[in-house]
Amino acid sequence: MTTSREIRLKSRPVGTPTADNFELASVSLPDPGPGEVQVRNTWMTVDPYMRGRMNDVQSYTPPFQIGEALQGGAVGEVTKSNDPAFKAGDLVQSFFGWREAFNAPAAAVQALDTHGLPPQAFLGVAGMPGMTAYVGLIKIAALKEGDVVFVSGAAGAVGQIVCQIAKLKGHTVIGSAGGADKIAYLKEIGVDHAIDYKAEPDLTAALMRAAPDGIDVYFDNVGGAHLEAALMAARPFARFALCGMISQYNATDMGAGVRGLIMAVGKQLRIEGFIVSSHFNELPAFVEQMSGWIAAGKVTWRETVEDGIENAPTAFLKLFKGENTGKMLVKL
Amino acid sequence: MTTSREIRLKSRPVGTPTADNFELASVSLPDPGPGEVQVRNTWMTVDPYMRGRMNDVQSYTPPFQIGEALQGGAVGEVTKSNDPAFKAGDLVQSFFGWREAFNAPAAAVQALDTHGLPPQAFLGVAGMPGMTAYVGLIKIAALKEGDVVFVSGAAGAVGQIVCQIAKLKGHTVIGSAGGADKIAYLKEIGVDHAIDYKAEPDLTAALMRAAPDGIDVYFDNVGGAHLEAALMAARPFARFALCGMISQYNATDMGAGVRGLIMAVGKQLRIEGFIVSSHFNELPAFVEQMSGWIAAGKVTWRETVEDGIENAPTAFLKLFKGENTGKMLVKL
């Protein structure tokens, strides 16, 4: 018998989540049954999209259930195996985050070959956030030579990778983030114009100063005023990849709306939302290119780490306060 | 010497245009010079997009100038020719609308072969409005088998053609328009669900009743609440062709904004604005297909006609009051 602590959804958040929406519980794990493995997680991820699953609405993923452990990406080590595919000590990836340990069918976990990277990189730059950046920029926004690229949430898990892919491909990149530390980080990774949106009274004006001839690509992680600024600054035939809208996730009503959408007609803009899981066919291309870029020192990344399963809700809540630079992770 | 009356922009409208923004003037036309033709217009078009050209802003077409005749599509008859390419009596199309007659270089007018259609059809179903419907539905929205199609401004010049193309291709079509006459017309042309938006307290609810399983294509002529309803009712991977937003053309500020754009992320929507003039490569395909559909009785159309150049401003103003069914034209 092994004990595992896990974070459960105690109540559905209304508006911005608070610590009260979560509870820490302990469960006892029997030895894994036939065909099962037992895994001790070493890292788990918290991501803004999880906020949507806390609402009781059907979306592209089913809602979390009250009283049950949350779910999300994790990496860990097999501690006991009752399946020939794994042995104790094997490194694995799974979707059984928000818990210290778990039993699962062997088919529900994936062996992880780190190729020399730290394992938690597969929850960030080399995992879904990195692939989201890649798919959004290359496939959805159809990045092409000469494009001026604007990225919001540029110092976040996805944004930091978008900026670097665009830079290594030779583009002018404008990134927005909140606060001096993040702005300094953006400059460090080569962003041409870093906009501190918290210090700018008029985001559109700031974007127009950074891109006097306009932008060709907008990678949206934020929505709201950022999207309005991008509509105003867009050049004809600009493409918007809508990855997320963190400014909207805690809204309790439909809010103020996005103004200036009429620009999309005259400027012939293409505005497209996407979910990375619909683009798994791009995984081999992503892995090949990203591993090359990392090996060549062309892509780097930051992490913000909380320690211990009991601090996973704190890590999650910090996402909505902008208290992470780069990927927000929990070390277990 | 010939006399021609023309409509000039007297002042730039602020908000909804009024009769005061226009003035009627007379000009004397000398005989056409070498290489020129003189044309007497028989029909001219007024279109919502012209409102944009009345503002002093650079867009995809340059602004109209105060004190000068407005411009727009027209068909007419060559009355005098000083160029071998044309002779008196030839039917021509031009962009010299808003005037009774004009002199122009022969290269600035196009000979019009009506293929048995009334000449004014080339300002509507067989002209730019028809091609706008075709390009928006087939190319931008990428209409495919089984799509449920929602069209706003469905009884307008473009909307009436969108509805019919979608119907002849076997689709379920939901059209919105204002008032009982237009709703009756939509039913006449085979629209499956006609929504009278002026009679509906909640457009989203009305759309969801008409399309309980959601919509796959939205052809937007209206913007605002119609666009919000479409976002709410969209199925995953729906495509929106943004053709125009008549609800927004007279706005004096950025307005209330479009709510629910976050739906575009989770539903992976593609929202694309377009201008028909960017798609002239589709002209041969359009002409071939549309002439076949008209000949087969599969596409019909309505016109709303004002008489005389002096009533051209009235015709234009009626567009914004929704007082046209089908194509709004001025007979000269």
**What is the per-residue pLDDT across A185-222, written as a single tens digit (0 to 9) for each?**
999 999 999 999 999 999 999 999 999 999 999 999 99
- Cα–Cα dist B43/B59, whole Å: 26
Note whether A244 contacts B: Cβ–Cβ < 8 A. Answer: yes
Mean pLDDT value of segment A67-79 = 97
**Which of B60, B262, B272 lies nearest to residue A270, judging by beta carbons?**
B272
Mean pLDDT value of segment B116-131 = 96
Task: Residue B210: name the closest of B202, B221, B198, B222 by CA.
Answer: B202
Instruction: Please report the pLDDT score of residue A317 as a whole number.
Output: 97
**Nearest Cα residue in chain B from A276:** B268
**Phi/psi at B317 (nearest 5 deg)?**
-65, -30
DSSP state of B286: H
Length of chain B, in residues = 332
Question: Residue B155 — pLDDT band, cuts 50, 70, 90?
Answer: very high
In the predicted model, is pLDDT for residue A254 greater than 80? no
In the predicted model, is pLDDT for residue B58 greater than 90? no
Mean pLDDT value of segment A55-66 = 87
Question: Residue B249 — pLDDT band, cuts 50, 70, 90?
Answer: confident
Minimal C-alpha gap between A114 and chain B (Å)? 30
Task: Residue A233: name the closest of A261, A205, A259 by CA.
Answer: A205
Size of interface A-B (CB pairs under 8 A): 109
Instruction: Please report the pLDDT score of residue B127 as a whole number.
Output: 95
- Cα–Cα dist A16/A248, whole Å: 10
- Cα–Cα dist B21/B66, whole Å: 9
Task: Residue A94: name the closest of A36, A24, A19, A133 by CA.
Answer: A36
B255: left (phi over 0), alpha (psi -120 to 50) or beta: left
SS3 label, residue A22: strand
Question: How many alpha carbons fall within 13 Å on the CB side of residue A274?
Answer: 28
Task: Give the pairing type, strands A91-94 and A110-111.
Answer: antiparallel
Question: Residue A168 — pLDDT band, cuts 50, 70, 90?
Answer: very high
Instruction: Please report the pLDDT score of residue B34 as a whole number.
Output: 97
**Nearest Cα residue in chain A from B246:** A262
Minimal C-alpha gap between B176 and chain A (Å)? 19
Q: Do A260 and B269 touch (CB under 8 A)?
A: no
Note whether A248 contacts B: Cβ–Cβ < 8 A. Answer: yes
Residues 256-295 of B with CB under 8 A from A: 256-275, 278
- Cα–Cα dist A221/A283, whole Å: 21
Q: Do A223 and B52 touch (CB under 8 A)?
A: no
Instruction: Please report the pLDDT score of residue A229 as a whole number.
Output: 98
Question: Residue B314 — pLDDT band, cuts 50, 70, 90?
Answer: very high
Note whether B191 contacts A: Cβ–Cβ < 8 A. Answer: no
Fold for B2-123+301-331, please state it: Quinone Oxidoreductase; Chain A, domain 1 (3.90.180)
**According to CATH, what is the number of the domain A129-278?**
3.40.50.720
Domain B128-278 indexed as CATH 3.50.30.50: no
Mean pLDDT value of segment A307-323 = 96
Minimal C-alpha gap between A137 and chain B (Å)? 15
* Residue among A265, A268, A271, A275 with most chain B CBs within 10 A, to mutate: A265
Instruction: Please report the pLDDT score of residue B41 as a whole number.
Output: 98
Residues of A in contact with B245 (CB under 8 A): 261-262, 265
Q: Do B268 and A264 touch (CB under 8 A)?
A: no
| Those residues with Cβ within 8 angstroms of residue B139's Cβ, 6 or more apart along the chain or in another chain | B274, B279, B282
Instruction: Please report the pLDDT score of residue A212 as a whole number.
Output: 97
Q: Do B271 and A272 touch (CB under 8 A)?
A: yes
Minimal C-alpha gap between B303 and chain A (Å)? 25
SS3 label, residue A168: helix
**Which of A59, A259, A271 lies nearest to residue B264, judging by beta carbons?**
A271
Instruction: Please report the pLDDT score of residue B256 as a whole number.
Output: 79
Note whether B250 contacts A: Cβ–Cβ < 8 A. Answer: no
Domains A2-124+302-331 and A129-278 share a fold: no
- Cα–Cα dist B278/B129, whole Å: 14
Residues 81-110 of B with CB under 8 A from A: none
- Cα–Cα dist A100/A26, whole Å: 10
Residue found by looking up tokens 């610590």 in the block: A19
**Nearest Cα residue in chain A from B232:** A254
**Which of B236, B262, B270 lies nearest to residue A270, judging by beta carbons?**
B270
Residues of B in contact with A259 (CB under 8 A): 254-258
What ipTM is given for this predicted complex?
A: 0.94
Task: Residue B158: name the closest of B119, B128, B193, B116 by CA.
Answer: B128
Q: Do B262 and A278 touch (CB under 8 A)?
A: no
Residue found by looking up tokens 């193309």 in the block: B165
Question: Residue A252 — pLDDT band, cuts 50, 70, 90?
Answer: confident
Q: At what angle do helices B203-210 and B225-233 cross, to 10 degrees?
A: 40
- Cα–Cα dist A153/A247, whole Å: 10
- Cα–Cα dist A229/A134, whole Å: 23
- Cα–Cα dist B80/A259, whole Å: 50
Token pair recorded at residue A194: 């870093």
Tens digit of pLDDT for each residue in B202-243? Answer: 999 999 999 999 999 999 999 999 999 999 999 999 999 999
**Which of B259, B271, B272 lies nearest to residue A255, judging by beta carbons?**
B259
Exposure letters B51-85 (e unless 16+ CB within 10 A, then b): bbbbeeeebeeeebeeeebbbbbbbbbbbbbebee
| Cβ atoms within 10 Å of A279's Cβ, excluding its own | 19
Q: Do A265 and B254 touch (CB under 8 A)?
A: no
**Which of A60, A255, A269 lies nearest to residue B273, judging by beta carbons?**
A269
- Cα–Cα dist B100/B102, whole Å: 7
Exposure letters A102-128 (e unless 16+ CB within 10 A, then b): bbbebeebeebeeeebebbbbbbbbbb
Domain boundaries defined on chain B: 2-123+301-331, 128-278
Instruction: Please report the pLDDT score of residue B278 as a whole number.
Output: 96
- Cα–Cα dist A212/A202, whole Å: 15
In the predicted model, is pLDDT for residue B61 greater than 90? no
**Nearest Cα residue in chain A from B49:** A266
Q: What superfamily in CATH does domain A2-124+302-331 come from? A: Medium-chain alcohol dehydrogenases, catalytic domain (3.90.180.10)
Residues of B in contact with A243 (CB under 8 A): 265
Note whether A203 contacts B: Cβ–Cβ < 8 A. Answer: no
In the predicted model, is pLDDT for residue A324 greater than 90? yes
- Cα–Cα dist B79/A248, whole Å: 62
**Which of A258, A272, A278 lies nearest to residue B258, judging by beta carbons?**
A258
Range of lowest pLDDT (A154-158, B12-16, B252-256, B275-279): B252-256
Instruction: Please report the pLDDT score of residue B38 as a whole number.
Output: 98
